[in-house]
Amino acid sequence: MGMWASLDAMWEMPAEKRIFGAVLLFSWTVYLWESFLAQRQRRIYKTTTHVPPELGQIMDSETFEKSRLYQLDKSTFSFWSGLYSEIEGTLILLFGGIPYLWRLSGRFCGYAGFGPEYEITQSLVFLLLATLFSALTGLPWSLYNTFVIEEKHGFNQQTLGFFMKDAVKKFVVTQCILLPVSSLLLYIIKIGGDYFFIYAWLFTLVVSLVLVTIYADYIAPLFDKFTPLPEGKLKQEIEVMAKSIDFPLTKVYVVEGSKRSSHSNAYFYGFFKNKRIVLFDTLLEEYSVLNKDILEESGMEPRKDGEGDSEEIKAKVKNKKQGCKNEEVLAVLGHELGHWKLGHTVKNIIISQVLSFCLTVLSRRFEFQADAFAKKLGKAKDLYSALIKLNKDNLGFPVSDWLFSMWHYSHPPLLERLQALENSKQD
C-alpha cells in the first residue's frame, strides 16, 4: 500500500514537478546503467593479467601490461569525471542554475540597452555564458587527463602553454560557429508557426552538411598543420588503390598529430567528386616526428664521460612508436575506403537519426565488412598486422566484457577482428 500511495502522491504533484523528477530519474538511471557496464569492463582489466593464448604470438606481456594499466587509469578517471558531471547537472537543476543563468543573461542585455523583447540576443548571451561555464568546469578534468594520465603513459606531446592556447582557440572558434547558427535557428523557430520543427530540422540538416564539408579545409587547419603527402611509392599506391574502386581521390594529406598526442588515426572526407584522405603522421612509420627524433638521437655519439646517454637512447628506441609500414597503411586505407564503397557513411547518417544503439551494432558489422573488403584487395595479412600495431601503439586493451563492448564499442574488439581475418586468410 505504501508504494502505491507514494505513486498516487507523485501523480497528484504539479506537472512541472513530475517532469522535473522524471528528468532527474532518467538521467541517474542512464548514469547508473553506464557505470554498471564500466564496472564490468573494469573487472576485465583487473582480472585479465596475462596475455590470452590467442594473442600469445602477436602481443608480448610488457605491451599487454602497459595497455591494461592505461585502461585501468582511464576507467578510474572516467568514473570520477562522470560522477562529478552527474552531480553537477543534478545540482544545477535542483538549485535553479538554468533559470538563474537566463536572468543573468537578461541583466547583461539590459546593461547593453537590450530589453526583454530581444529574446534571441538574450539567448545568445545565455549560450555564451553556459558554454563558458562548461569550459571552465571541464578544464581541470581535461588538464588532469592530458598532463597526468596521457603523460604517464607516454601519449601526451603538449606543453601547458600549447594546451591553454589550443583551449582558448577552440572556445573562440566554437562561439564563432555556435552563436550565428543558434541565432538563425531561434529566428526560424520564432517565425515558423505550427510547422517550425520541420523548418528547424531542415536547417540543422543543412548546417550539419555544410560543417562536414568545410571542417577539414577551413576549421581543422586552425588547430593542426596539414601537409600534402610527398610524391613517392606510398602516394602512388594509395592513388592506384583509390582508382581501382573508383574512389574520386583528389588529395592526400598528412596531419601533424604528433604535436598533440602520439595516438594514430586515418580518415577521409569530402562530398561527391572531391574526396581527400588524411593520415596522422603517427600512423606512418617513416614519417612520424616522434620516430625521427628518436632515430636522430640514436645516431648521436655517446658522451665520453659515461654511458648514460647510450642507455637513455636504447630505452627510447625500445619504447618508440612503431607506426605502420606502407603496406599496412594501405591495408588500413583499404578498410576506410571499404566504408565509402559499401555506402556505410550515408547509412550511418540515416540510422543515427533513429537509434544510436542500433547504430553501434550495425557499425560493428560494418567494420567486419570493411575488413573483408580490404581482404578482397589482397590486404588481409597486412591489415592483420596493422591492427595489432595500432592496438599496441594506442595501448588498446584486447579483452572486453561482451555487454560493455556491445553498448559502447562501434568497432568490434581486436580479438574478434583478428579471428575474422584469420578465417579470411585461411580461405
Residue numbers in the known binding site for Zn(2+) are 335, 339, 367
400, 409 in Cβ contact below 8 A? yes
Q: Which amino acid is at 257?
A: G
The helices-and-strands tally (H runs, E runs) of the chain is: 17, 4
Distances (CA, A) of 99 to 21, 123, 133, 161: 17, 12, 14, 35
Which of 328, 371, 382, 401 is flagged as catalytic?
A: 371
Q: Can you say which residues are annotated as belonging to the binding site?
A: 335, 339, 367
371 is catalytic: yes
Helices 2-11 and 15-47: crossing angle, nearest 10°?
A: 120
| Residue 316 neighbours by CB under 8 Å, 6+ apart | 294, 297, 298
336 is catalytic: yes
Cell digits of residue 314: 636504447
Which of 150, 281, 328, 336 is flagged as catalytic?
A: 336
Distances (CA, A) of 116 to 101, 106, 188: 15, 7, 19
Q: Which residues of 291-300 are buried (b: 16+ CB within 10 A; e: fewer)?
A: beebeeeeee
**Residue tagged 601547458 (cell numbers):** 160
> For residue 64, how many other CB atoms are within 10 A of its CB?
22
- DSSP classification of residue 271: S
Q: Maximum Cα–Cα distance for the chain, whole Å?
A: 87
Q: Which residues of 335-367 are buried (b: 16+ CB within 10 A; e: fewer)?
A: bbbbbbeeebeeeeeebeeeeeeebbebbbebb
376, 421 in Cβ contact below 8 A? no
Helices 414-426 and 380-393: crossing angle, nearest 10°?
A: 160
Which among 183, 199, 190, 166 is positioned nearest to 127, based on CA atoms?
Answer: 183
Identify the bridge partners of residue 324 per DSSP, sorted by sequence position.
284
Give the residue numbers marked as catalytic. 336, 371
